[in-house]
Amino acid sequence: MGSEANAIANRRDRSPWVHSLNGPWHFHWAATPDECPRDFYLPTFDTTSWTSIPVPSNWQLHGHGTPIYKSSGYTFRIDPPRVTSKPPEDWTTYRDRNPVGCYARHFSIPAAWKSRRVFLHFAGVEGAFDVWMNGVPIGYSQGSRSPAEFEVTEQVQSGANQIAVRVFRYSDGTYLEDQDMWRLSGIHREVVLYSTPPTRIVDFTVRTSLDEDYCNAELAIDVELDATSLAKIAGWEVVAQLFAPSGEPVLPADLRHDAEPILNRDYKPDVLVERTPQRGTGPFGWLNATVENPAKWTAETPHLYRLVLSLNNADGRPQQTVACDVGFRTVETRNGQLLINGRPLKLRGVNRHEHDPLTGHAMTDEQMLNDALRMKQAHINAVRTAHYPNDPRWYELCNRLGLYVIDEADLETHGLRGRLANEPRWATAFLDRVVRLVERDKNEPCVICWSLGNESGWGPNFAAAAAWAKSVDPTRLVHYEGAQGSSDPADVDFISRFYPRLRAEYLHPSLPDAPNAAVPPENARWDRLLDVAETQPGDRPIVASEYAHAMGNAVGNLAEYWQEIDTHPRLAGGFIWDWADQALAIKGPDGIAFGYGGSFGDEPNHGTFCLNGILMADRELTAKYFEVQKVYQPVKLELLSQSEGAIRLEVRNQRHVLDLSDLQTTWSIIAADGTTLTGEGPTLTAAAGDKEEIEIALPLDGLQKDTWLTLELSLKQSTAWADQGHLIASCQWPLATRVDTQPLVMSAKTVPLQLKQRENEYALKSATVRVSFDRHTGMLTQLQYSGKEYLATTSSAGPRLQLYRAPTDNDRGFGRWLAKLWSDADLADVETDLRSCQAERLSPSLVKITTSVDAQVRPGGVKHSIEWLIHGSGTIQMRHRFEPYGELPPLPRMGVVMHLEGGLKQLEWFGRGPHENYPDRKHSALIGRWNCPVTTAATPYPRPQETGSRQDTRWLALVDKTQRGLLVAAINSPFAYSAIPYTAEELAAARQWSELKPRADVVLSLDTAQCGLGNSSCGPGVLKKYAVLPKPMELNVIIAPIESTDDPGIVATRIMHQHASMEATSD
């Protein structure tokens, strides 16, 4: 750090002893090692013809070689430990057998570094590499996400220096890096030189432990020194002090220890007996202190102290200063629960890859900070570094902002299953990955658990790694999910499951159990969470290491997962797969598109399976993110009772340590006509884990039917991760208010409606409206208000039966894919047979048109009848009755589709919003009055699929730039709608969102039911309660004109009440 001030402030960038080698390097790419230029590492080699590449970066994103996306399985022929055996000819590695990137650059070191030691540090090189300094070979390393360090004291010189690096895309180490991600290459993390005195602090380890009351703490610091053989260290000391955030020292006096016994250059027996082994059998730490009641570190209260460690010479002058953040916390399990500082914790987690569509695996400070802030704002409290150690700067953010980290080793052999875990010759390589993880991150307070790797079976190599981690670091837990092989090895501290099921009825309950299979499929360990909690012996906590696979339009029934997790103390939570889509940018004339496996000619590939994020690749927020934010909210609200002028609520504080006094309570009441009332609620005081009851006085008199109460809890003050007013929790309830039972008086003025029956059509006309029906198809062919046509000029403007949706990634998922059932049933190609089309005049101003259509698909069909009531005033009631018959599969939806005039570009509705929502993913979409343009109503999933639906809609207005348009209002039951410039068939046919060309018309879908989303792209499917099973259904709405001076909410409420009055009168 260079000085105590820099160390306290964590300003390594100000240190005179650190020199960055980030920036432009000369670069040469070769498809095979044989094509690599000879002697390129010599200072005399001419690299002026080479290209320039930034460090850190991945070379595939700078025009060199091919990025390859694989979920699992190797991109070269499996032949361990060899990586260049001949693969199939269509594979990328057939041509580019083992690409090599050669890097070179010059630099100068400061004159002040003379007579000091110099070290070269690589934070991460994707692939295997060797390095030369001034033409002299320095060393070799592999392990793409572990640091490598070399002493170059003898090789550097005053003045100009040259460094050269050769990076191989593949090595035998690549067999341990078969993770679900883009396979990229290059120097993707920082490169620095740093200087130390001849006698130096090599390493140090900090431990904090709390007493049995979780009050006072013991601080223990172990130090490792190194010195040249001639160095004199008599009288030297190691000195430590702990600083508060204010910069004030915490310890009453500096901790000091003589350097000589720590170095123990003479290997004195008494020191060896006492200190080796240090862990477990002897005292830990050369420097120890008791800290009275320090502020404790948790994700909610990330209190950090700064430890500054100095090596002082005999004159007391610091020769070297190092530092780290210290958080006082303990991690343990007891009675099946995960405890932090003695309190039970639920992990509201997410898996995160280091990935950006423009920079690949090279992450910037801004990208990481944005990720951490977005996680905190979504109430995520834990992150699993899937599936490798992350950039060290990530842990600094997690320490500071408050995120628990499951820190995972760079170890996955998915394509070889558990074979390498059981081969003795690979034992050292397995252990190396875990050792480097633990040694690098052992001082990070945010790290509460080591994860041995991912989905690589089980065997003695993992058992050895687990034993090593526990022996070296007894202050943390050990996790592992092997996917194949032995379930729940006793060597680890968690029972881990990925993609577990709920204790609920699924649409296809036989999947993925495969009960009749001799050998269950690899991913058949999707046990029911509660069954595991109740039947597994022992008292280890249970965690879902991966769940809620967020591929495409997904994350169904997340709320049901947490209803179960909250009910059982052994269920410690889970980690959603995953944080952001792993797409790569494709730059084109129309902007940036997002590419996935195969988009770059990469073979073999796993297509869109990299698009699993709750955020888009560019970190655009999605409805999935908002659903996570809602379900993960740490405060639960329950309506207990409602009286004439007040409601009573129970508020349950599910925070880990914080009470609720930092939250502001506000309420709002909104009605379908737009009436809104707001107010403030009482101050909350419930401690963590407790609950309290509150009463709120509300002005309920005179409120109309369909009125909703929303309660919101938000931050009173800004924090490090969110601004004042940030929403922490919300809940909404319908209010059972008094409804005016007196019939509304219909206008005494009737508007005559003409009816003309022609050979091909029924034509209706009044001073306000013109409507025509094709007598051969039953289709509506004209809809004019005040001379303006609102139907698109297409023969199939509708409304027509719609059973199909563009399959989501979940619909195409594991097991009995719903998409296949729908395709086999030809649901996208419904054949219709008009059975009748009749007109009946009910009064001078009212005409009824009835049509009956037999809509046929392969195993059956739907009898679809429509009753139209057209009023001379322009109000049109449209009642659809659907009667399925035959052997239909579970349906994507039941509803109708219409094509409207393209000028209706603005949407406003009263229902769930503002983001898209579905039956099993709508908790975050509150009932309200929302608006958006048609152009943004669809979510641009990189692979197009069903999108844009809004549930529980009471009314919908579609208007043009003059604010004139159409109103669709629900009768009796709300409907779901989408209004986007694409048909379901167009979405289904496109492979990339950028291929879609927006239509000139608006495709309006009105559904009485739509299938839920589920999680079956990798996991269990749709719950049966969210399926659309073939049975009789109705869709009943009113269509009316909207003028520029109209408020659609008031108009909708008026015509819905008028309809109720008409029905009451007719009764």
Q: In this predicted structure, what is the pLDDT of residue 108?
A: 96
Q: In this predicted structure, what is the pLDDT of residue 817?
A: 75
Closest Cα to residue 579, out of 776, 785, 390? 390
Q: By residue range, what is the domain housing residue 426? A: 332-579+622-630
Of 275, 306, 326, which residue sits at a domain end? 326
Q: Are 686 and 659 in contact (CB under 8 A)?
A: yes
User: DSSP character for 416?
Assistant: G
Q: Read off the pLDDT band of 589 (50, 70, 90).
A: confident
Together in a domain, 496 and 355: yes
Task: Classify strands 1002-1010 and 975-980 as parallel, antiparallel or unpaired.
Answer: antiparallel
Residue 983 belongs to a domain: yes
Q: In this predicted structure, what is the pLDDT of residue 726?
A: 98
What is the CATH classification number for the domain harbouring 676? 2.60.40.10
**Residue where the block lists tokens 């990229």:** 184
Q: Are 174 and 83 in contact (CB under 8 A)?
A: yes
Q: Read off the pLDDT band of 446 (50, 70, 90).
A: very high
Distance from C-alpha of 100 to C-alpha of 399, rounded to nearest angstrom: 37
Token digits for 511?
Answer: 């999947």
Q: Is the N-terminal amide bond of 80 cis, ω within 30° of 0?
A: no
Q: Read off the pLDDT band of 513 (50, 70, 90).
A: very low
Q: Read off the pLDDT band of 521 (50, 70, 90).
A: very low
Q: Read off the pLDDT band of 277 (50, 70, 90).
A: low
Token digits for 320?
Answer: 């070297």
**Residue where the block lists tokens 């409606």:** 753
> Does 457 have pLDDT greater than 80?
yes
Token digits for 789?
Answer: 């046509």
Distance from C-alpha of 23 to C-alpha of 21, rounded to nearest angstrom: 6
Of 694, 712, 735, which residue sits at a domain end? 735
Distance from C-alpha of 494 to C-alpha of 542, rounded to nearest angstrom: 6
Together in a domain, 922 and 806: yes
Residue 976 belongs to a domain: yes
Distance from C-alpha of 292 to C-alpha of 177, rounded to nearest angstrom: 45
Catalytic residue among 408, 455, 481, 712: 455
Together in a domain, 515 and 428: yes
Q: In this predicted structure, what is the pLDDT of residue 971?
A: 93
Together in a domain, 350 and 368: yes
Handedness of CA 506, 512, 514, 515 (dihedral sign): negative
Together in a domain, 309 and 347: no
Q: Are 594 and 357 in contact (CB under 8 A)?
A: yes
> Does 8 have pLDDT greater than 80?
no
Residue 501 belongs to a domain: yes
Together in a domain, 927 and 1045: yes
Bridge partner residues of 328 (DSSP): 296
Q: Read off the pLDDT band of 12 (50, 70, 90).
A: confident
Sheet holding 788-789, edge to edge: 754-757, 761-765, 769-774, 780-785, 788-789
Of 695, 714, 735, which residue sits at a domain end? 735
- 408 is an active site residue: no
What is the CATH classification number for the domain harbouring 796? 2.70.98.10
Together in a domain, 357 and 267: no
The helix-helix angle for 427-441 and 460-472 (nearest 10°) equals: 30
Q: In this predicted structure, what is the pLDDT of residue 703?
A: 73
Q: In this predicted structure, what is the pLDDT of residue 699?
A: 86
Together in a domain, 392 and 534: yes
Q: In this predicted structure, what is the pLDDT of residue 745?
A: 35
191-249 tens-digit pLDDT: 999 999 999 999 999 999 999 999 999 999 999 999 887 778 889 999 999 999 999 99
> Does 264 have pLDDT greater than 50?
yes
Q: In this predicted structure, what is the pLDDT of residue 864?
A: 98
Distance from C-alpha of 827 to C-alpha of 806, rounded to nearest angstrom: 11
Q: In this predicted structure, what is the pLDDT of residue 408?
A: 99
Bridge partner residues of 853 (DSSP): 834, 864
What total of structural domains would you count in the chain?
A: 5
Q: Are 877 and 868 in contact (CB under 8 A)?
A: yes
Residue 915 belongs to a domain: yes
- 455 is an active site residue: yes
CB atoms within 10 A of CB 970: 24
Residue 367 belongs to a domain: yes
Token digits for 494?
Answer: 């968690």
**Residue where the block lists tokens 């965690």:** 543
Q: In this predicted structure, what is the pLDDT of residue 488?
A: 87
**Residue where the block lists tokens 């022929």:** 77
Average pLDDT over residues 88-108: 97
Q: In this predicted structure, what is the pLDDT of residue 782?
A: 95
Q: In this predicted structure, what is the pLDDT of residue 750?
A: 81
Together in a domain, 522 and 403: yes
Percent above pLDDT 90 for the chain: 85
Helices (H), 668-745: none
Burial class (CB in 10 A: 0-12, 13-18, 19+), 745: exposed
Together in a domain, 354 and 281: no
* Lowest-pLDDT choice from 111-120, 524-533, 544-553, 926-935: 524-533
CB atoms within 10 A of CB 16: 12
Together in a domain, 320 and 366: no
Together in a domain, 403 and 531: yes
Which DSSP string corresponds to 739-803? ---SPPPPPS-----EEEE-SSEEEEE-SSEEEEEETTT--EEEEEETTEE-B-SSTT-S-EEE-
* Lowest-pLDDT choice from 58-67, 307-316, 546-555, 696-705: 696-705
Q: In this predicted structure, what is the pLDDT of residue 393?
A: 97
806-855 tens-digit pLDDT: 999 999 986 557 999 999 999 999 999 999 999 999 999 999 999 999 99
Average pLDDT over residues 522-544: 84
Q: In this predicted structure, what is the pLDDT of residue 612?
A: 97
What is the CATH classification number for the domain harbouring 170? 2.60.120.260
Distance from C-alpha of 276 to C-alpha of 267, rounded to nearest angstrom: 11
Residue 786 belongs to a domain: no
Distance from C-alpha of 300 to C-alpha of 321, rounded to nearest angstrom: 31
Phi and psi dihedrals of 732, rounded to 5?
Answer: -140, 145
Catalytic residue among 126, 190, 260, 546: 546
Q: Across all residues in the chain, what is the average pLDDT?
A: 93
363-391 tens-digit pLDDT: 999 999 999 999 999 999 999 999 999 99
Residue 13 belongs to a domain: no
* Residues contacting 315, CB < 8 A, separation 6+: none
Average pLDDT over residues 606-631: 98
> Does 747 have pLDDT greater than 70?
no
> Does 495 have pLDDT greater than 50?
yes
Residue 72 belongs to a domain: yes
> Does 662 have pLDDT greater than 70?
yes
Q: In this predicted structure, what is the pLDDT of residue 609?
A: 95
pTM here?
0.95
